[in-house]
Structure 1
Amino acid sequence: MTAQVMCLTSSGGIPLFTRKKGEINAMTFTKMASLNGVQMFLKSQNIKLINTLLPDMTVVWKEFADSITLITIASGTTKLVLDNFLNAVFNSMIFVAGIDEIKNPRNIEKLKKELRILTIFHLCNICSIKK
């Protein structure tokens, strides 16, 4: 299994962190911006983008607290597992930084620094995503 999770601000698409597990190429900023851009455009049209299935990958988008968008791309797993995984990632973010700082970040760079502690290995273990 390979997995990658990206965390961006919902309002501006500023990347807060990306993490990967397995033999997957690191997500470039342009690909990240494209995935977020599709979600932001559809949101402006009152359409909620939940997931998309590719032949070998699943992509899931989820917005939390009207301030954070999490996007995950993974192979060898289901949409339900990825949805639970994104919930676990967000709950881990709350544990590390606090909900007030996530909802209204005073300093994006400080928030990024606080979230460095989150690793995909620990996040995958939280959600029981195995190779």
Structure 2
Amino acid sequence: MKNKTNKVLGLLLFISAFVFVGCEDDATDFDRPLTITEKVAILESQEWLLKGFEESVMHTFSNGERFTYYAVNNEFTEDAIPGTEDYTISGDLLTMDFHFGNVKTYELVFSCNNTIVEFYSAGILQSTLYQRNSNYQSCL
């Protein structure tokens, strides 16, 4: 009987060690900062509402262009307004060309499980976007 108990305890100890080591590795990956490529991929996979104008202005990002949509009677139009802003990756930053020599470089800071993104230029917050149809309000 003692032999069986030792085997069961040994097995439980082995399983516990395996589980804890596995969890530690996953947590490390989860806590690592996003790369600029991962940040842009998140931007490009969602629709984003402009803070302060959540019910009337929405942006989407696709293949180096930012599109802007306006809402009519609280419904966003299917077509973006004419004109886009180009964006590129510059090192760890996102550079946007607003045309006519107006170029800004931003550090992107994601929070709230990647449902809020803040655009910083030279350390100063320039704008905030909220992921459309997310629970970003729970983080405000």
TM-score, normalised to structure 1, is 0.29
Higher relative strand content: 2
Does 1 or 2 have the higher relative contact order (CA < 8 Å, sep 6+)?
A: 1
TM-score, normalised to structure 2, is 0.27
